[in-house]
Amino acid sequence: MSTSAPFLSGPFTPVTDEMTATWLRVRGDLPRELNGQLVRNGHNPLPDVVPHHWFKGSGMLHGIRLQDGRAESYRNRWVRTPALQGAPYMTERGPDYTAHSAGTHAIGHAGRILALNEAGFPFQVTPELDTVGVFTFGGKLTTAMTAHPKIDPRTGELLFHGYGPFPPYLTYHVASPQGDIVRKLEVAGAGPSLMHDFAITQRYVVWFDMPVVFDAKDTSGMPYAWKDGYPARIGLMSRDSGAVRWFDVDPIYVLHVTNAYEDAQGRVILDAPAFERAGWERSTAWWAGRADRGPSLLNGARHHRWTIDPEKGVLSCRAVDDLVVEFPTVNPEVVGQTHRYGYALALPGGEQGPWALAKHDLDTGTRQLRVLAPGQLPSEGVFVPSARATREDDGYILTVVSNADQSPAELLVLDARDIAGEPVAVVELPRHVPGGVHGSWIAARA
């Protein structure tokens, strides 16, 4: 396989087969309360397949199962979608919602594990990561599904959306804790922009209609491009009525959201990394394989905080700091609720690296960094709450560290209160794990 594209080389070099390994070596002491499986998704083309865009690589799941202080197993499996064998996403009849990579995210909800890609339907997989098949919520899902659904920790509901380049541009769904779609509505006022992520609060859904817009002439492999003059807006939609109010913001783009909540005054506090045009275009050049246009998969996104007052109809924004960050996460128990801490991948030394994990204390304005060695790439930090938690950051950050020389990867289990400190435990994985996209901790069912 040619490795000229940056997403096919170094720590992103694809693996060529599937494997299962058991009883992995552990350094340190794995917390016995970590009973479940870290499932991480990413793009991994078949051998001899050279995609023209990072997102076109077939989805591959990597699972690391922990139980009673032991690392029981590692396994990797391709998600067996029609796209794995080359089926096109777009047909003469329009989009085929089964023919996509399913390579962006993996979540657990209502006893199911779903592999996600916003271009189509979810694919259900078994706990052993074998593909069950396309999942449409009993036929109730008729649009694509975002790769970033939100599980409301108060209700257990799964909130998600589908977006597309043609009206209706944005459709909102709610699934019950049992996994049945109970609500669907078209979102008024949305446009044909790339709505990769969104946020929730107790009363609102927060939308991002921003100037990365469908462009049928774009040849990069992702038909969305920055469009000057397209108004950047944040929308607050009532979770009760579905009514939307849009607020104009400076021309930026939000790819991933940290979290949102309502403060004591009823204002919406929203945290997220944001790109300006230059950083966004350097990032998309990397995804499209144009290494000369950008040395890193993330370029120039910086953490911002918006305060939106629905009663007064005003919005303000400030930069949290100047650190380049992306792939933000929080404790899943505070999704849509007041949060103090956010975690993210970071480039403290600039786009050439080295990589780091960052923890922001958004109350004090301080941050903590865990800087990795040159050639090492951490995965998105997945927060697992401790069963004995008394504070928001009582828990663990799980991250898979991939190596540029394709030597075997490691799973770091970090104390979320002190991510720069000595790891709680390190699980030695049996192989190279390519740098990927998103994943989830899926707790063992009682």
Per-residue pLDDT of 167-194, as tens digits, reads 999 999 999 999 999 999 999 999 999 9
Q: How confident is the model at residue 441 (pLDDT cuts 50, 70, 90)?
A: very high
pTM, entire model? 0.96
Place of tokens 């038909």: 223
The answer to whether the beta carbons of residues 414 and 356 sit under 8 Å apart is: no
Domain 6-443 of CATH type 2.130.10.10:
yes
Residue 44 has pLDDT above 90, yes or no: yes
pLDDT (mean) for 129-135: 98
* Alpha-helical segments (H) within 177-231: none
What pLDDT was estimated at residue 232?
A: 97
CA distance 352 to 374: 10
- Beta carbons within 10 angstroms of residue 250's beta carbon: 9
**Residues 347-401: tens digit of each pLDDT:** 998 888 899 999 999 999 999 999 999 999 999 999 999 999 999 999 999 999 9
3 state SS of 182? strand
Beta bridge partners of 306: 270, 317
* pLDDT tens per residue, range 189-213: 999 999 999 999 999 999 999 999 9
Query: pLDDT value at position 352?
Result: 80
Enumerate the domain spans of the chain: 6-443
H or E segment at 308? Answer: strand 302-309
Q: Tell me which amino acid residue 137 is.
A: F
The answer to whether residue 116 scores a pLDDT higher than 90 is yes
Could you tell me the CA-to-CA distances from 296 to 177, 350, 356, 429 in Å, in that order?
38, 10, 13, 25
Calculate mean pLDDT across residues 27-51.
96
Angstrom distance (rounded) from CA 361 to CA 387: 22
Tens-digit pLDDT profile for residues 145-169: 999 999 999 999 999 999 999 999 9
- Please determine, for residue 443, whether its predicted confidence score (pLDDT) is greater than 60: yes
Nearest to 40 by CA among 368, 434, 370, 443: 434
Binding site members: 148, 196, 256, 438
CB 265 within 8 A of CB 307: no
Q: What is the pLDDT of residues 60-96, one digit of tens each?
A: 999 999 999 999 999 999 999 999 988 877 777 778 8
Q: How large is the greatest C-alpha to C-alpha distance in the chain, in angstroms?
A: 58
Predicted pLDDT at 307: 98
Omega before residue 354 within 30° of 0, cis? yes
If you average pLDDT over residues 394-417, what whole number do you get? Answer: 98
Residues annotated within the binding site for Fe cation are 148, 196, 256, 438
**If you ran DSSP here, which 8-state letter would residue 416 be given?**
T
Model confidence at 2, pLDDT cuts 50, 70, 90, reads very low
Cα-based distances in Å from 151 to 14, 156, 182, 231 = 31, 6, 14, 30
% of the chain with per-residue pLDDT over 90: 89
Query: Cis omega before residue 168 (within 30°)?
Result: yes
Structure tokens at 138: 């009993």
Give the per-residue pLDDT at 43.
97
Q: Render pLDDT for 311-347 as a digit per residue (tens, 0 to 9).
A: 999 999 999 999 999 999 999 999 999 999 999 999 9
Mean pLDDT of 275-289: 92
Q: Please answer whether residues 117 and 99 qualify as being in contact, where contact means their C-beta atoms are separated by less than 8 angstroms.
A: no
309 CB-contact burial (10 Å; exposed 0-12 / middle 13-18 / buried 19+): middle
Residue 277 in this model has a pLDDT that exceeds 80? yes
| 66 in Cβ contact with 34 (< 8 Å) | yes
Residue 1: per-residue pLDDT:
42
Residue 390: burial class (beta carbons within 10 Å; 0-12, 13-18, 19+): exposed
Residue 300 DSSP SS3: coil
- pLDDT at position 292: 56
Sheet holding 439-443, edge to edge: 19-22, 70-78, 59-67, 36-43, 439-443
